Structure 1
Amino acid sequence: MRRYVHNELATIAEALCAVAISAPVAFGVRGIPKAESAWWPITVLIPLSVGSTVSGVLACTRSTRLGSEKLDLERAVPVAPDTVLPTSGESLLRSLALRSVAFLVVPTLVAALLWEPLMALIPLALVPDRLARATYAAYWERRHGIMLWQGHLPDQPLGKGEYLYSSVRQLTS
């Protein structure tokens, strides 16, 4: 099981790691693009980032058509009182996945090497959406005095998307 906020922050870290790996390689092999030739990749990256930001903000609304995180969080079910939850560090480590970094690095690096070096920055488009979701989830947790979890526990009823919540004071391992 992982804390919801940790999962969102881990996705941001994975995107930043992918950029930290692919950008130096792409810029080292293909060179840093000149400002005159970099206008068209930037016109692609900026709308992607704006769209990601809008997506993250809209996910925090109650609209069912937009895939509302707010409604999903409100449908979370309580964790059984005798369940021992992972510590904060353990939850954060469980949220990080090297295969996600590889999944971001490989196509980004191929596009950056074969097409345009600035394509190495594409994983940054994930950051605004995940940051908005993490910020809203942290606010929601604080407002309700609970901690949100993702995952499945044996003999535990599931909410939509397998969201669970626990008291802030519940013991962790």
Structure 2
Amino acid sequence: MRRYVHNELATVTEAVCAVAISASAVFGVRGIPKVDVGWRLAAAVIALSAVFGVLACTRLRWLGNEKRDFEEAVPLTPDTVLPTLGESLRRSLDVGFVAYLAVSTPVVALFWETLVALRPLMFVPDRLAKAAYAAYWERRHGVMLSRGHVPDQPLDEGQYLYSSVRRLAS
């Protein structure tokens, strides 16, 4: 089980690390491209990702799934011990995701278009918007939102769970 906000912020960190690796490799080999339509298109795609991240936190039926999922979260049983801050952050990091982005992105960017090296940035605005909304939702409801599986509760892996802020493991 991992805290939802930690998972989203870990993905942002992973994407930024992947951009640093892929952009330095690609721009080092092919050079930094001049500002043209490609840069504007990259900025537009990143801005569109931010818009979809914000729309995911609304009540729109076909886009706003985060808000509904948070409201349908299941309470944890009182005897469930939540992971510590460090453990939740460690569980949220996915080295495989960074490796996938850091390997696939430069390969495509070197053989196709240099600006593809910035592709991992597409994850950043969307995940930041969802993390900000989750933190707001947690503060408003006075609970911590987690995602995962608890052996005592017969729920699936993707289930949202909430718990009191005061029941943290030390």
Tell me the TM-score normalized by structure 1.
0.92
Q: Secondary structure at the match of 2:146?
A: strand
Matched residue, 1:31: 31
1:60 aligns with 2:39: no
C-alpha contact (below 8 Å) 1:3/1:147 kept by paired residues: yes
SS at match of 1:66: coil
User: Distance between the aligned counterparts of 1:66 and 1:157, measured in 2?
Assistant: 28
Tell me, in whole angstroms, the C-alpha distance in 2 between the residues paired with 1:31 and 1:120.
12
The answer to whether the aligner puts 1:156 opposite 2:153 as a matched pair is yes
- 1:135 is matched with 132
Provide the residue aligned with 1:86 in structure 2: 83
Residues in 1 aligned to 2:63 and 2:14: alpha-carbon distance in whole angstroms: 25
Q: Does 1:147 align with 2:115?
A: no
Q: How many residues align?
A: 170
The answer to whether the Cα contact below 8 Å between 2:147 and 2:157 also exists between their aligned partners in 1 is: no
Question: Shift of residue 157 of structure 1?
Answer: 4.2
Q: Which runs of 5+ in 1 are unaligned?
A: none
After TM superposition, the structure 1 stretch with the greater mean CA deviation from structure 2, 140-149 or 65-74, is 65-74
CA root-mean-square deviation: 1.6
Gaps of 5+ in 2: none
Q: Name the residue aligned to 1:119.
A: 116
| Cα drift, residue 41 of structure 1 | 2.1
Structure 2 residue corresponding to 1:104, chosen from 80, 101, 104: 101
Structure 2: which amino acid aligns with 1:2? R
The aligned amino acid for 2:26 is A
Shift of 1:67: 4.3
Q: 1:67, 1:139 → 2: CA distance?
A: 16
CA distance in 1, matches of 2:59, 2:3: 22
For residue 44 of structure 2, the aligned residue among 43, 47, 71 is 47
Q: Which amino acid aligns with 1:126?
A: F
Q: Which residue type is aligned with residue 107 of structure 1?
A: S
| CA-CA distance at 1:155 after TM superposition | 2.6
1:148 and 1:163 in contact (8 A); partners too: yes
